[in-house]
Amino acid sequence: MKHKLLLFVLIILLIPLVSAATLKGSIYGSNLELETDVLIEIDNQKYLSKEGTYTFELEVGDYTLTATKGFIATSEEIKVTGTNVFDVFLLDDFTDEDDLWKDTEEQFFTEDVIEDSKYAIWRYILGGLILLALLIRLFWVRKKFGSLSKFRRHHKAENRKTTAEHQEEIDNEPGYLDRVIEIIKKNDGRIHQKTLRKEMLDISESKVSLILTELEHKGKIERIKKGRGKVIILK
């Protein structure tokens, strides 16, 4: 009976030893050196590490270890069995910085998208205006000189004519001279020869030159050299 009682007491005494465990380790900062004055908490136990190390006597089980220094804190889930060595790395929490960068990045790229959209709109507007100007020009040419194919045939035929043929047509058709005079009048009695040429695209350049020479000979106009071109003045 005494032996059984002794065995029972011995078992009771050994149970805490079997279930006891040791957790120890070192605490490192962002420079990978031992971090001092760190508060370590685990299972309602607190320990202020002055030299960058810690030791806890615990029962076997799962724990949450928390290390805190100033505004920096970290938590780790640990399974304790027997003697355990667990080093803690106390690093800065970059959550706020990440959020700030994310907000800045979103704002930056959003502004870029807005700016690109503005430029895109202006490009479309400019392209539309250019296209509109071309359409107006084409409409004006068609209205004044007929279809493009007809205009080309007429222009080729004009260019194949000789100077004598042009002069004969001018002599037989006074409308050529009257047309030039009307164009000059619409431009306040003064027009650049290059501008006049654009107003008479259906007539070859040789014929236009002969018409101006005829008008100048009759005293209807005067040509004055200006720069590399000439200005035609109605008398």
**235 residues of the chain, pLDDT tens digit each:** 555 555 544 545 544 444 678 999 999 988 888 999 999 999 889 999 999 999 999 999 999 999 999 888 889 999 998 889 999 998 765 554 455 556 555 655 555 556 666 677 888 888 888 888 877 766 665 665 556 566 677 667 777 888 888 888 888 888 888 988 899 998 988 998 888 888 887 788 888 888 888 888 888 898 888 877 889 998 8
Cα 209–Cα 214–Cα 219 angle in degrees, nearest 5: 125
Each domain of the chain, given as residue ranges in start order, spans: 17-89, 94-145, 161-234
* Domain formed by 161-234, architecture: Orthogonal Bundle (1.10)
> Tokens in use for 199?
């107003």
Distance of CA 79 to the CA centre of its chain: 52
What residue type is 112 in one-letter code? D
pLDDT at 15: 47
pLDDT at 14: 47
CB 25, CB 49: distance < 8 Å: no
For 41-95, the DSSP string reads EETTEEEEESSSEEEEEEESEEEEEEEEETTEEEEEEEEE-SEEE--EE-----H
CATH class label, 17-89? mainly beta
pLDDT at 82: 83
pLDDT at 31: 83
pLDDT at 16: 47
pLDDT at 98: 52
